[in-house]
Amino acid sequence: MRPTDKACAALFGFLCITSLTGCGERKEQRRAAQDVVVEKKSEAPQASWIRRNDDMDPAVWLASKEAGRRLAPDDPSVARLRKAFGGAESKYLESDRMIANRTAQLADMLAKDGNPEAAADIVEGLSTVIGVGRGKETYGELCQFYFTLRHNGADREAALAELQARYGAYPR
């Protein structure tokens, strides 16, 4: 073997070892990055909706979604949502699961529109507008009406007053 061939072989060997070492480091960096991503994903609720067959407390799910991390069932924000769902139960046709889904959707829409509101505030507010003796209403319909009012410039109080005028108690 000539000296130039030996030099080429040594250089080739050096490049192979260097590139293999670099690949190993890159793989470790990628694995570490994936671990961080998995860790971050596990902090927030995984589902963007609660499906009918999900075994999940709607109050825990909605409060966790809003907080961006899994909350304990005894968290004060979960308790507030449970109480709000309890107040909505006699006013709306939908289950707590559907009210949680619609509230999450409305909260996202309001936030994107520049009018962020807390989920419990939404459920509590929309539950106050249904009058006694009116019967059960459709929560999704009121959510859409409320969003339209807010989108068109009404503040929270004006939008709730408009809904109260429309969905309040029937005149006797």
Every domain of the chain and the residues it spans: 1-43, 47-167
Global confidence as pTM = 0.72
Q: Express each pLDDT in 143-163 by its tens digit.
A: 999 999 999 999 999 999 999
Q: Judging by beta carbons within 10 Å of its beta carbon (0-12, 13-18, 19+), is residue 26 exposed, middle or buried?
A: exposed
C-alpha to C-alpha distance for 46 and 56, rounded to whole angstroms: 12
Predicted pLDDT of residue 3: 53
* Cα(122)–Cα(50) distance, integer angstroms: 18
Backbone angles phi, psi at 92, to 5 degrees: -125, 150
Q: Provide the token pair at 96.
A: 């707590």
Q: What does the pLDDT look like over 116-152, one tens digit per residue?
A: 999 999 999 999 999 888 889 999 999 999 999 999 9
